Amino acid sequence: MARSPLSIGKFLLAFVSWWMIWSLLQTILLTNFGLDLKTAMADSIVTNAILALACGFVSNNLQYYLPKKDRYWYILFLSLSLSALVVLACKWILVPALGSMSPGYAAFFSRSWLVRFDNVFLQVGCMAILSVLWYSSEEEQQNMQRKTDAERLSREAELFKLRQQLAPHFLFNSLNSISALIGSRPEQARKMIQQLSDFLRGNLKKEEQQWVPLAEELQYLQLYLDIEKVRFGHRLSAEIDHDEDSMALRLPPMLLQPIVENAIKFGLYDTTDDVTITIRARAEGNYAVISVQNPFDPETSRPKQGTGFGLSSIQRRLYLLFARSDLLTTSVENTNQFITIVKIPQ
Amino acid sequence: MIQAIIIDDEPLARLIIQEYLQAYPQIKVAQECSDGFEGLKAIQQHKPDLIFLDIQMPKINGFEMLELIEEPPAVIFTTAFDEYAIRAFESHAVDYLLKPFNKQRFDKAVQKWLDQRAADADPASPSNPNTQALLDTVAASPSQSRRIVVKTGGKIKIIPVEDVHYLEASDDYVKIHTKNGVFLKNKTMGYFEQTLDPAQFVRTHRSYILNIQQVTRIDPYEKDSHLCLLQSGARVPVSKSGYTKLKGVLGL
């Protein structure tokens, strides 16, 4: 429910002052028409008090019932009937009370009722229109707020889901490798447990809101690639390079990892030769530009048009974060090299 | 002497099986293979009694490799995580090891196979009858229905289903007509009808399944039947019931 403007302190003050000024003006006007000061004051105070009540009523009424566009006649009807009631009330109160004090008052009132009605109708009408505008904009604002809240919530949920796709294959196969190492090379098994723990810890603690420095993210990827190297032995080599000034760049957490996972999936899991995965990071204007290159087997997996392979979730995430869909590009080089380039606005 | 082959793309995963097998002097590991191609060659060469087979492997996965073997040996699957395959294993009682597995679990699987083998009156047919049922179940999984693996002239060919124009029944085989030629696969039409995506492939005739992307024109032919012209220029018969199905899929 929208708040009534009269429930807000400064508006109430303005409302009260408005009626005081109006009473003063009416008193002056009435003395100019020949009424004595006391009668003029009583007349204008009573009239404006009733009028103020009527306006308060209008404002209050519209708070509970806001006519839609095709029902604006309701406002007209309300204003007209209220104005009539106000003038009648003034007549019933003022004429018996003031008629005895100043003899010409009854005649004066019946001569001036039309002007009084016009004035009352004008004020009540204005109040009604202002109230409609006020409540409409309040309602609009509330709707907007609700909409953005809903959007924010669903976006957060979606981002959370996109980040949570830790491949179970990776985890169980790594554990299997550790199990194999325990028998033959216990020292290395211990080291791998350490690496895997660091990797999982990093995976758990990252919050969407906190962007991480590129240096940290690259270290994390190195950890991931090191684990894969233990699993696949000499088959995998990884190159990570970056220029010095790119290290301070920041990016959303867990954005690069799925890209590298994708590179591993098509470059390592689906090929039989030795592979090199190359990650390059540089600063370019207002962007952090990171490219990931992996070989793939054109016979078993062909990159589709557009984003290719399984990058649509990253594309979606970039869109949710930046409202842009041109930040992720992919290309194929020398028939079997797949290159993914992601640009992060700084 | 029992011949065994280990097929897994991770060296450490092969190592642990080797290590556990040291307790079985009667089992000799003839070869270790790091992918399905190598595995296939080794199986044809050594004719092993038992294979330890990983599922997730480069190029062709463990199931696809098994499909290409006429008389598959006994298989103990080893896998890290594959919900669909595990369900298939459970319903078809082939033993499998979930990575990482310990010595006890490994011993149980090997012992089970050794017992089965000892009880088997006819050791000349080591092929597990359940293997075929297992493969049929697995073939229907979503990840399996995107490509078809065939053997042609000793070479393995992976055909993405988009490249398939139509399938034609031919005795015990199915002829797969593709943009790169015709291939044969030792399967039934019913098998393909079940495994291929029904939104893309329609069985228009007892002996034909066609890729609807290929359809350019459907002409009336003899009484109650139609003839479908494909982009490749081929003409595929459409029976009365096939025509109804085809219209349904094309949204006519």
- Pick the range with the lowest mean pLDDT from A151-155, A257-261, B94-98, B115-119: A151-155
Which residues share a beta bridge with B181?
A: B178
**pLDDT number for residue B223:** 80
B26's tokens: 């009667």
Q: What is the mean pLDDT of residues B116-140?
A: 65
B152 touching A (Cβ < 8 Å): no
At A247, the pLDDT band (50, 70, 90 cuts) reads confident
A243 pLDDT higher than 90: no
- pLDDT tens string B87-99: 667 666 568 888 9
A92 touching B (Cβ < 8 Å): no
**pLDDT number for residue A308:** 47
- pLDDT tens string A67-118: 777 777 888 888 999 999 999 998 898 888 888 878 888 888 888 889 999 9
A91 and A176 share a domain? no
A199 and A293 share a domain? yes
- C-alpha A326/C-alpha A207 separation (Å) is 24
For chain A, give the mean pLDDT: 84
A141 and A172 share a domain? no
A202 and A318 share a domain? yes
At B5, the pLDDT band (50, 70, 90 cuts) reads very high
pTM: 0.66
Q: Of A137, A161, A185, at which residue does a domain stop?
A: A161
- What is the ipTM, given to two decimal places? 0.77
CATH topology identical between B2-139 and B146-250:
no
A332's tokens: 């194929």
Q: What is the mean pLDDT of residues B105-120?
A: 87
**pLDDT number for residue B129:** 54
**pLDDT number for residue A310:** 60
| Class in CATH terms, B146-250 | mainly beta
A105 and A176 share a domain? no
Residues of A in contact with B80 (CB under 8 A): 168-169, 172-173, 176
A187 and A277 share a domain? yes
A213 and A186 share a domain? yes
Q: What is the mean pLDDT of residues A258-279?
A: 85
A336 touching B (Cβ < 8 Å): no
A183 and A112 share a domain? no
A15 pLDDT higher than 80: yes
Strands (E), A87-208: none
A280 pLDDT higher than 70: yes
Q: What is the mean pLDDT of residues B149-162?
A: 85
B19 touching A (Cβ < 8 Å): yes
The count of structural domains within chain A is 2
At A305, the pLDDT band (50, 70, 90 cuts) reads very low
Other Cβ atoms closer than 10 A to B226? 21
Residue of chain B with shortest Cα separation from A266: B58
A212 and A284 share a domain? yes
Determine, for residues B59 and A300 on separate chains, whether the beta-carbon distance falls below 8 Å: yes
At A269, the pLDDT band (50, 70, 90 cuts) reads confident
Which of A75-84, A163-172, A261-270 is the most confident on average?
A75-84
- Percent of chain A scoring above 90 in pLDDT: 22
Q: Domain range holding A214?
A: 168-345
Instruction: Decide which of A54 and A210 is more confident.
Output: A54
Q: Of A143, A161, A179, at which residue does a domain stop?
A: A161
| Domain boundaries, given as residue ranges, for chain B | 2-139, 146-250
Determine, for residues A179 and B81 on separate chains, whether the beta-carbon distance falls below 8 Å: no
For chain B, give the mean pLDDT: 85
Q: Which fold has domain B2-139?
A: Rossmann fold (3.40.50)
Q: Of A161, A194, A220, at which residue does a domain stop?
A: A161
- Pick the range with the lowest mean pLDDT from A274-278, A319-323, B140-144: B140-144
Determine, for residues A231 and B10 on separate chains, whether the beta-carbon distance falls below 8 Å: yes
B41 pLDDT higher than 70: yes
CATH number at residue A323: 3.30.565.10
What kind and span of H or E run contains A73? helix A73-99
A177 and A77 share a domain? no
**pLDDT number for residue B130:** 64
A176 and A156 share a domain? no
Determine, for residues B56 and A232 on separate chains, whether the beta-carbon distance falls below 8 Å: no
Residue A131: left (phi > 0), alpha (psi -120 to 50), or beta? alpha
Q: What is the mean pLDDT of residues A116-133?
A: 90
Residues of A in contact with B62 (CB under 8 A): none
A306 pLDDT higher than 50: no
**pLDDT number for residue A254:** 75
Residue-by-residue DSSP string for chain B: -EEEEEE-S-HHHHHHHHHHHTT-TTEEEEEEESSHHHHHHHHHHH--SEEEEESS-SSS-HHHHHHT-SS--EEEEEES--HHHHHHHHHHT--EEESS--HHHHHHHHHHHHHHHHH-S-TT----HHHHHHHHHHHTSGGGTTEEEEEETTEEEEEEGGGEEEEEEETTEEEEEETTEEEEES--HHHHHHHS-TTTEEEEETTEEEEGGGEEEEEE-STT-EEEEETTS-EEEE-HHHHHHHHHHHT-
Residue of chain A with shortest Cα separation from B162: A302
